[in-house]
Chains A and B, each alone.
Chain A
Amino acid sequence: MATIAATPAHAHESHAHPTGFMSWMSTVDHKRIGTLYLFTALFFFLLGGLEAEIIRMQLQGPNGTLVSAETYNQLFTMHGTTMIFLAIMPLSAAFFNYLIPLQIGARDVAFPRLNAFSYWVYVLGGIFINLSWLLHAAPDGGWFGYAPLTTRAYSPGMNIDFWVLGLQILGVSSLAAGFNFITTIINMRAPGMNLMRMPMFTWAAFVVQFLIVLAFPVITIALVFLMFDRFFGTNFYTTAAGADPLLWQHLFWIFGHPEVYILILPAFGLVSDVLPAHTRKPIFGYPVMVFSLILIAFLGFGVWAHHMFAVGMGPIADTVFGLTTMLIAIPTGVKIFNWIATMHGGSIRFTTACLFCIALVAFFTIGGLSGVMHASPPADLQQTDTYFIVAHFHYVLFGGSMMGLFAGVYHYFPKITGRLLSERIGKWHFWLTAIGMNLTFFPMHMSGLLGMPRRIYRYDAGQGWDGFNLASSIGAYILAVGTLFLVWNIIKSLRSGTRAGNDPWGSPTLEWAIPSPPPEYNFARIPTVTSRYPLWDMKQPALTSEVPHSHRGDKEMEVAVGGKTVGHPHPGPAAQSTRVSESEMHIETETYTPAQVGIVLPDPTVKPFFVALGMVIMLGSPLFMHEAQIREIAGNAAGHRTAMTMFWIFVLGGAALMVGSLYNWLLTPLESDHH
């Protein structure tokens, strides 16, 4: 148990972090898992970006012939699937992992080994779904996988099998992480860190976890139906048996619309935390920002059918879903106005992180407004499934989510690695991204309104789309160059970036009170929190006297910096005497071993990896079953038997590995000296 050891606090052995391959495989430290998420997600972001570049090369002019229709369909399906499930969600998860415990003053998440399990399921699921490229059978049904196109009758190949199985695997990862973070935020806040003192990012993360645990089961069931249809001959989407293809659409979008908020709200949270640090002002209207998050999430569950205005639901349903969709504009608009008000009266430092925040405000507004435009069902009938929609959601997901996440990368890179990213390269990255993004996606509004359908691998000349498509493609190439600057920046700064110190930005929240990178145990002493901006209280108590302090737990703020308690928040004689200047904070970067500060950390273990591996093998094994079915139809009895044998070996072997490792995990205490 993590209690204060009786041994002298400053024992002399100073063993460094283990850094070998096995230390990463077996880590249960939320920070290292967050780092793994970050770099894995950035890798998949590059992969999804590469797919997008090929798409744009194909569409650069009419009658593109770079790739075949089949390959193109695989590319746009995998671009969407990769960006949503393998890049943006895990990038958000990287920040959830890294920041939630630090921001609420905890030593780790509630279930460190479950956290490792989530990561391994994610990375193995991502590998699984991309293995399909090697078989020239990448998913080709669109990220939305509408039945009956995705049923065996119309998609006989393995393409959709990879997609159905891969998405179920990835869903397990998100769900496990969701339970973990909900528990962490509810239950592991430092003393005094009541809900209305939590940093905005933690709030956004909290809301998103509820969206995940409530939305993912629905798509899991939709996918289970599709899987059963494809492998066991059930009739959920078999139209000949009377099935209704709208069942899939409803289930998919009941998940799919909250998924949009799963993608965007973490970026909103990051911006709400990054912006105050770089403008030297607290977030404007914190309670409203929190309630708007909750309201967006709540309304987000009641608008799914606005993706289906063209399917003919009837005027009543169209009216209801159109109006609820419009309502979402209200809490979203409030967020935009409050961000601008946060900057108003501030002292805006145009750091790269801040520029990306500003870009989110500027660009997301465009995506939000075009969103309102197709909230109106009659107008949507002329817009849906055209490039206007592509423009809209790229302004939301690139102009919104990615801008926020890039802001997070620049802001938190020094906390994660101890080194600042280069501002000079960062500016190149920012401006190329901002220009490239608008040049790519703004013309899509035009090509869409001028009649260009989505998901077409070629178009005829003379349709009035050539110029817009050429502009979009040039924009995409600029974006690619901008992204290379990010890669260069990360590689260069990891080696030779400026040392960051505790708090390079003068941020107000707890994660900046500890060294960068933080020690394994995070806080040598768990701080007691008395306001939303503990570090600003400490550094500038006079300025933060307006911060509404809570009625209870109004104790003295004690923040451990490298194990040393510093600071009292309240103005008054005591506060005057212990006021800590910013420069002094930078010096206090002493890191101790856990033993020195008497903290017992969870043991590293590879069991979560093996549980994840077993599960992925088990859930992926139906691929052999399909192969067996093909051979059976071809009259190849021996081949059929071989494939079925492989299926049983994989399904039983995977299950045995999973269950065995799971028992081993659950029956082993988290910390070795538990008693």
Chain B
Amino acid sequence: MTATHRPRRRLHAALTAALAFAISACSGDKYPNTIFERHTEFNREVLSIFNTMFFWSALVFVLVEVALLWVLWRYRRREGQPEPKHVHGHTTLEIVWTLIPAVILIFLAVPTVRAIFRTQAKAVPNALQVQVIGHQWWWEFRYPQYGVITANELYLPIGRTVNFELKTADVIHSFWIPRLGGKRDLVSNHTNYLWFTPDSADETAWNGSCNEYCGASHANMRFRAFTVTPAQFEEWTAHQKTPAAFGAVAPATPGQPATQPATTQSATTQTATTQTATTQSTTPVTAASFTGWPADRMPAYTEPTKPIPAGISFNAQPGDPARGQQIYSRSACIGCHMISGNPMSMGQIGPNLTHVGSRLTIGAGLYPNDDQHLALWIKNTRAMKPGSIMPTLGKGEYDPILATTVTSGLTDQEIADIVAYLRALK
């Protein structure tokens, strides 16, 4: 073993030197979705293989192209040159250049096989479990150990292994946070796993995306991941577990699945029962200090830049959250969305909105979560996000999928009220 270690170490030193420039050039400051970062053991495995691959590929590339250029220059046709000698082959040479690639491949194959088994081993038992459920075109994240359900924004404690359980509600999607690891497909009727430990990550935000073409808004199926301190993570989960912040009705009786959707799931998870038991009280927990990533600390690369599509406008007085809650609770919204604490809102199809006001983006990372975008979103989602399954709700709006104009929808003022309500759900 020692005999093999030294050349390998030397090789790695050489590689590091050779790639230092490339990798530093591809750092996260300038390239916020680069794969060349080492914040997780997953990416360190991949990067080590990539470096080996890149080294050999670059070597072969340079040798081949230099040989080619030299041959082209040396044997270009010249005036008065006799016809070249006809050489039909050279067995030894051909054996040599069959064997050399074969030997190089061994250098690639050995670390590859090792990394396959390392990255696909079972996650450590005390890992944070996150269920990732892909939907056209948004992400549902469930923390069964904490009884938390959220959408499109993923919170990960620094230093703790996270084990993603990947499923899909419809077509195939693919889960990817380039700077942390991945990707892994979400395949119907299959459950896939992916784990890594953001052990050397800063407290920051990361972009994630769907990478398997999944229909009209595949490009708009994105998410943000936040790496936070373990303490912040505990505070965040505690806050997420509370019912809706605005006008929450009395907590539902135990056993009513609507308000406690995660209870049954967390009960099945052994590792976290004690942890969750304390936080599973039915009374709202007093506001925790860390309730979500602060908007002013969003790195620029996580801020949505998509302009509002032409042709939609919104014109209303500032809304009233109480009125908004009433309108919301008798509108079509409740058929699809869940707001824990609002017994009318028990839908399972769309994203859970219990703490929607604390999220930084809407529409799976498509727009910033502000009054204007949220109002336009509710008014005509399908104009805001191509192919969206959420129907067009604004009165008089043209629904591009049904190709009809909505006659009995919400007025701008009603939408403004709903926006005020939802924005209050911090």
Binding between chains A and B: yes
Binds A, one of B46-54, B268-276, B372-380: B46-54
Query: CB-CB < 8 A to B5: which residues of A?
Result: none
Please report the number of residue pairs spanning A and B whose Cβ atoms sit closer than 8 angstroms.
Answer: 303
Whole-angstrom CA separation of A463 from B71 in the bound complex: 42
Query: Nearest residue in A to B301 (C-beta to C-beta)?
Result: A462
Q: Does A68 contact B (CB under 8 A)?
A: yes
Q: Are B219 and A62 in contact (CB under 8 A)?
A: no
Query: CB-CB < 8 A to B219: which residues of A?
Result: 69, 453, 455-459
Query: CB-CB < 8 A to A8: which residues of B?
Result: none
CB-CB contacts below 8 Å: A347-399 with B: 347-350, 358, 361-362, 365-366, 369-370, 372-373, 375-379, 381-386
Q: Are B105 and A381 in contact (CB under 8 A)?
A: no
Binds B, one of A329-337, A552-560, A605-613, A659-667: A329-337
Contact of B76 among A322, A348, A455 (CB under 8 A): A348
CB distance from A374 to the nearest CB of B (A): 9
Whole-angstrom CA separation of A321 from B76 in the bound complex: 42
Q: Are B174 and A379 in contact (CB under 8 A)?
A: no
Query: CB-CB < 8 A to B90: which residues of A?
Result: 284-285, 341
Q: Does A186 contact B (CB under 8 A)?
A: no
Q: Are B305 and A461 in contact (CB under 8 A)?
A: yes
Whole-angstrom CA separation of A669 from B141 in the bound complex: 69
Q: Does A503 contact B (CB under 8 A)?
A: no
Q: Are A452 and B33 in contact (CB under 8 A)?
A: yes
Q: Does A638 contact B (CB under 8 A)?
A: no
Asked, given contacts A146-B213, A326-B108, A384-B183, whether A154 binds B171 with beta carbons under 8 Å apart, the answer is: yes
Whole-angstrom CA separation of A524 from B61 in the bound complex: 48
Q: Does B113 contact A (CB under 8 A)?
A: yes
Contact of B187 among A63, A245, A326 (CB under 8 A): A245
Contact of A148 among B94, B188, B303 (CB under 8 A): B188
Asked, given contacts A336-B64, A346-B84, A382-B46, whether A450 binds B26 with beta carbons under 8 Å apart, the answer is: yes
Binds B, one of A312-320, A429-437, A646-654: A312-320
Q: Does A580 contact B (CB under 8 A)?
A: no
CB distance from B41 to the nearest CB of A (A): 11
Query: CB-CB < 8 A to A284: which residues of B?
Result: 87-90
Proximity bits, B226-242, A CB within 8 Å = 1, else 0: 00000000000000000
Q: Are A322 and B116 in contact (CB under 8 A)?
A: yes
Binds B, one of A19-27, A164-172, A541-549: A541-549
Asked, given contacts A239-B189, A350-B76, A449-B34, whether A333 binds B305 with beta carbons under 8 Å apart, the answer is: no
Q: Are A340 and B190 in contact (CB under 8 A)?
A: no
Q: Does B281 contact A (CB under 8 A)?
A: no
Q: Does B408 contact A (CB under 8 A)?
A: no
Q: Does A246 contact B (CB under 8 A)?
A: yes
Query: CB-CB < 8 A to A288: which residues of B?
Result: 89, 94, 98
Q: Are B50 and A373 in contact (CB under 8 A)?
A: yes
- Which residue, of B71, B215, B386, has the highest number of chain A Cβ atoms within 10 A? B71
Q: Does A179 contact B (CB under 8 A)?
A: no
Q: Does A73 contact B (CB under 8 A)?
A: yes
Query: CB-CB < 8 A to A457: which residues of B?
Result: 219
Q: Are B188 and A245 in contact (CB under 8 A)?
A: yes
Q: Are B53 and A458 in contact (CB under 8 A)?
A: no
Asked, given contacts A282-B86, A362-B68, A450-B34, whether A70 binds B216 with beta carbons under 8 Å apart, the answer is: yes
Interface bin, chain B: 35 or more
Q: Does A294 contact B (CB under 8 A)?
A: no
Q: Are A543 and B116 in contact (CB under 8 A)?
A: no
Whole-angstrom CA separation of A146 from B211 in the bound complex: 13
Whole-angstrom CA separation of A375 from B112 in the bound complex: 9
Q: Are B305 and A381 in contact (CB under 8 A)?
A: no
Asked, given contacts A362-B65, A462-B303, whether A334 binds B214 with beta carbons under 8 Å apart, the answer is: no
Q: Does B192 contact A (CB under 8 A)?
A: yes
Q: Are A385 and B212 in contact (CB under 8 A)?
A: yes
CB distance from A431 to the nearest CB of B (A): 15
Query: Nearest residue in A to B73 (C-beta to C-beta)?
Result: A348
Proximity bits, B49-72, A CB within 8 Å = 1, else 0: 110011001001100110110011
Asked, given contacts A336-B64, A456-B219, A462-B301, whether A287 binds B72 with beta carbons under 8 Å apart, the answer is: no
Q: Does A460 contact B (CB under 8 A)?
A: yes
Whole-angstrom CA separation of A464 from B33 in the bound complex: 8
Contact of B89 among A285, A345, A536 (CB under 8 A): A285
Query: CB-CB < 8 A to A458: which residues of B?
Result: 219-220, 306
Q: Does A323 contact B (CB under 8 A)?
A: yes
CB distance from B42 to the nearest CB of A (A): 8
CB distance from B383 to the nearest CB of A (A): 11
Query: CB-CB < 8 A to B83: which residues of A?
Result: 280, 347, 540, 543
CB-CB contacts below 8 Å: A2-58 with B: none
Whole-angstrom CA separation of A464 from B90 in the bound complex: 49
Contact of A381 among B46, B53, B166 (CB under 8 A): B46
Whole-angstrom CA separation of A17 from B98 in the bound complex: 50
Q: Are B75 and A369 in contact (CB under 8 A)?
A: no
Query: CB-CB < 8 A to A326: which residues of B?
Result: 105, 108-109, 112
CB distance from B240 to the nearest CB of A (A): 26
Whole-angstrom CA separation of A73 from B306 in the bound complex: 18
Q: Are A330 and B45 in contact (CB under 8 A)?
A: no
CB distance from B178 to the nearest CB of A (A): 4
Asked, given contacts A312-B187, A348-B72, whether A450 binds B33 with beta carbons under 8 Å apart, the answer is: yes
Q: Does A634 contact B (CB under 8 A)?
A: no
Asked, given contacts A326-B109, A453-B211, whether A385 binds B174 with beta carbons under 8 Å apart, the answer is: yes
CB distance from B391 to the nearest CB of A (A): 16
Query: CB-CB < 8 A to B117: which residues of A?
Result: 315, 319
Q: Are A279 and B97 in contact (CB under 8 A)?
A: no
Contact of A310 among B72, B85, B174 (CB under 8 A): B174
Q: Are B213 and A378 in contact (CB under 8 A)?
A: no
CB distance from A344 to the nearest CB of B (A): 5
Query: CB-CB < 8 A to A69: which residues of B?
Result: 216-217, 219-220, 386-387
Q: Does A244 contact B (CB under 8 A)?
A: yes
Query: Nearest residue in A to B81 (C-beta to C-beta)?
Result: A347
Query: CB-CB < 8 A to A131: which residues of B?
Result: none
Q: Are A372 and B57 in contact (CB under 8 A)?
A: yes
Q: Are B94 and A338 in contact (CB under 8 A)?
A: yes
Asked, given contacts A330-B101, A346-B75, A369-B57, whether A543 binds B85 with beta carbons under 8 Å apart, the answer is: yes
Whole-angstrom CA separation of A329 from B112 in the bound complex: 16
Query: Nearest residue in A to B170 (C-beta to C-beta)?
Result: A154
Asked, given contacts A246-B190, A450-B26, A458-B219, whether A149 binds B171 with beta carbons under 8 Å apart, the answer is: yes
CB-CB contacts below 8 Å: B173-210 with A: 174, 176, 178-179, 181-185, 187-190, 192-193, 207, 209-210
Asked, given contacts A279-B84, A314-B120, A464-B31, whether A358 binds B72 with beta carbons under 8 Å apart, the answer is: yes
A-B residue pairs, 9 tightest by C-beta: A451-B33, A456-B219, A69-B386, A464-B31, A285-B89, A312-B192, A451-B178, A239-B188, A385-B211
Binding site for B on A (CB under 8 A): 62-63, 68-70, 73, 140-142, 146, 148-149, 154-155, 239, 242-246, 279-282, 284-288, 310-312, 314-315, 318-319, 322-323, 326-327, 329-330, 333-334, 336-338, 340-341, 343-350, 358, 361-362, 365-366, 369-370, 372-373, 375-379, 381-386, 449-464, 536, 540, 543-544, 546-548
Binding site for A on B (CB under 8 A): 26, 30-36, 43, 45-46, 49-50, 53-54, 57, 60-61, 64-65, 67-68, 71-72, 75-78, 81, 83-90, 93-94, 97-98, 101-102, 105, 108-109, 112-113, 115-117, 119-120, 136, 166, 170-172, 174, 176, 178-179, 181-185, 187-190, 192-193, 207, 209-220, 300-301, 303-307, 386-387
Listed by A's residue number, 25 A-B pairs whose Cβ atoms lie within 8 Å are A149-B214, A244-B189, A245-B190, A279-B75, A285-B88, A310-B211, A310-B212, A319-B112, A326-B109, A333-B97, A343-B75, A345-B85, A346-B75, A369-B61, A375-B112, A381-B119, A382-B46, A382-B178, A385-B211, A385-B213, A449-B34, A451-B35, A462-B32, A462-B305, A536-B86
Sample of 20 further A-B pairs with CB below 8 A, known A319-B113, A456-B218, A458-B306 = A148-B172, A149-B213, A149-B214, A242-B189, A243-B189, A282-B87, A285-B94, A318-B120, A322-B109, A326-B108, A337-B94, A350-B77, A361-B68, A365-B64, A365-B65, A373-B57, A379-B53, A386-B211, A455-B219, A464-B32
